[in-house]
Structure 1
Amino acid sequence: MIASITLFYASLLALLLLGLSARVVMLRRRHQVGLGTGSVGALQRAVRVQANFGEYVPFAILLLALLEWAGAWTWLLHALGAVLVLGRVLHAQGLSKSGGVSSGRFVGTLLTWLVLLVAALSGIGLGIGFGLGGGPGQSLA
């Protein structure tokens, strides 16, 4: 079975990761920093945005795929995927502008954590037989 919903959101997030990575490369070239951040604030933030993405997104995508394979509701999978993409975009925008507190960074983090929490609880529910879908390979659109 192909996890087409997860594939869609993972693909969107891969494009976002490429954009974040390109920003790091661009800033490294502009400031002639080959390794580390050279104490350049914009580069430090860009590196942290990219790293934070790498810290959270793979596990969220794994949970999304496992939920899809376990037969979770289609609407739940789309909701989790869309909220994850939105959260990562907001986080990247917020942290890119300021290393301090920003609404984008706060809301982006909150949305990412919400996706992880709902996905984890849904996985536990499916794991113990609580009805959150139509069974493996089935969806209740």
Structure 2
Amino acid sequence: MNTGAIPATMLYAGIMGLLAVALATQVLWARINAKKLPDWKPDTTMRVQANFVENVPLALILLYLLEAGGAPTVMVHVLGAALVIARLLHAWGYSGNPGATYPRLIGAQTTFLLLSIMGFGLIYLALAPRL
């Protein structure tokens, strides 16, 4: 079976797809059970999913472009695994508390750091042949 030239990105896109389904299912569950939950829980659950949808597609596109642009496979795996951990931390940090928590902060800031690293990496790959 030919998986193409991007097997590492495919792995992390698949993991993130499953996490997206899990987060969407939590939103559905929170909406159905809203009257039984603390007032903050449904909104917080939706915010976790919205933040995921806001950041993960761009991160996966950047990861794909890094891999397609010739970045070392180990780098792609480190960035992809760090993204999975960051998003899990963010979701977990939000799951039990409506306010700021360290897991939420670390997850969000790590996601932003990874987006920045991947962005700079792509700029480097784009300009390196010309330098």
User: Do they superpose with TM above 0.5?
Assistant: yes
How many Å separate the matches in 2 of 1:21 and 1:40? 19
Could you say which residue in structure 1 is the equivalent of 2:127? 128
Q: Distance in 2 between the 1:31 and 1:24 partners?
A: 10
Counterpart Cα distance in 1 of 2:98 and 2:127:
42
Match of 1:118 in 2: 117
Residues 74-110 of structure 1: CA deviation (Å, up to 9, x unaligned): 1110010000000000000111222211011011012
Indicate the larger mover: 91-100 or 48-57.
91-100
Tell me the number of residue pairs that the alignment of Structure 1 and Structure 2 aligns. Answer: 124
> Does 1:63 find its partner at 2:62?
yes
Q: Show the counterpart of 1:99.
A: 98
TM superposition outliers: structure 1 runs of 4+ over 6 Å: none
Aligned to 2:15: 12
Q: Percent identity?
A: 37
Instruction: Tell me, in whole angstroms, the C-alpha distance in 2 between the residues paired with 1:109 and 1:31.
Output: 26
The equivalent residue for 1:134 is none
TM-score (norm 1): 0.83
Q: CA deviation at 1:2?
A: 3.2
Gaps of 5+ in 2: none
Q: What RMSD in Å do the two structures reach over aligned CA positions?
A: 1.4
Cα distance between partner residues in 2 of 1:123 and 1:67:
6
* Partners of 1:56 and 1:91 in 2: CA distance: 12
Hey, what's the Cα distance between the residues in 2 that align with 1:66 and 1:123? 7
What is the aligned counterpart of 1:28 among 31, 49, 55? 31
Q: Distance in 2 between matches of 1:105 and 1:19?
A: 17
* TM-score (norm: length of structure 2): 0.89
Secondary structure, aligned partner of 1:129: helix
Query: Which of the two has greater helix per residue?
Result: 2
For residue 36 of structure 1, what is the aligned residue in structure 2?
Answer: none
